[in-house]
Structure 1
Amino acid sequence: MIIGTGIDIAEIARFEKFVKEDNQSLFGRLFTRFELDYCFAKRFSARPLAMRFAAKEAFLKALGTGLRDGINWLDIEVRNDELGKPHLYIKGKAADQMKIAGAEKSHLSLSDDGGFAIAMVILEA
């Protein structure tokens, strides 16, 4: 049974600006060390950063809570399996709220085109 769905879009140029400014303070609030290592290993790091941000926003929309009840950006991590398929690793207060909502699984799809990154999340019981 589907508990919630969320979609978000992020402008890649916005993250290009953050990369050029070397905005470490912002990156540290939004992304885990694992995510930052993954993104900055890429030639164009703004694209995967924008995709991960869109994924986090889409997850919060699917959960229906936003950033409240103690949830923070670092509770939501985007990882890739050995084939490159993205998935969410949820911890902390976000995991607690997911359990309260009755969601046991999350599904994530990421794409980009025309300077935008898009993410869709489905939470399932």
Structure 2
Amino acid sequence: MIMGIGVDTVNIERFERIITETPAFIRRIFTPNERSRNVRSQAVRFAAKEAVAKVLGAPAGLNWQDCEVATAESGQPYLIIRGTIADRARKLGINRIHLSLTHDEPMAIAIATAEYLSDAELEHLRKFNPESYRLSVITETSADEG
């Protein structure tokens, strides 16, 4: 069942000005892995974090670094969710978040789709598409699965 959709757009040029003028912004928002990316990739990752916050209702107290945007070998973006982000998702009954990213000057766009899957649906996903399961399911025990 779809629980919510979040979308965000970021103007890449404006984003670049912000990170140039405020270097602390990068350290506050991005994980070390994300900091090594180029400006376009950082802009779309920021849009992704905003989209995830929106799908979670944007409550106060979310730690931006608890939501890391990573890339699978296939090129598919996925989330590594932990801490405040994972706690909020679980509280809302969300156990899977899909992510779609694109950037084409001058904009970066991200869409996050949150859903709840039953135990049977999760098992089906794990059995028939283990890579998708690993990349997108929020579990109780593993903070590094997104």
Q: Give the structure-1-normalised TM-score.
A: 0.86
Q: 2:55 aligns with which of 62, 66, 79?
A: 62
Distance apart, 1:15 and its partner CA: 2.6
Higher relative contact order (CA 8 A, sep 6+): 1
User: Tell me, what secondary structure is at the counterpart of 2:73?
Assistant: coil
Equivalent in the alignment of 1:9: 9
Q: Distance in 2 between matches of 1:9 and 1:104?
A: 24
Larger Rg: 2
Q: Aligned runs of 1:1-125 on 2, under 5 Å?
A: 1-19=1-19, 21=20, 23-37=22-36, 39=37, 45-64=38-57, 66-68=58-60, 70-125=61-116
Give the structure with the larger strand fraction: 1
Matched to 2:79, the amino acid is: L
- Which contiguous aligned blocks of 4+ residues in structure 1 show a shift greater than 4 angstroms? none
Percent identity (aligned): 42
Structure 1 stretches lacking a partner, 5+ long:
40-44
Distance apart, 1:61 and its partner CA: 0.7
Number of matched pairs: 116
Structure 2 stretches lacking a partner, 5+ long:
117-146
Q: Distance in 1 between matches of 2:84 and 2:8?
A: 21
Deviation digits for residues 26-76 of structure 1, max 9, x if unmatched?
Answer: 100110011112x0xxxxx11001100000000011111x151x3111111
Q: Give the structure-2-normalised TM-score.
A: 0.74
Matched to 1:53, the amino acid is: F
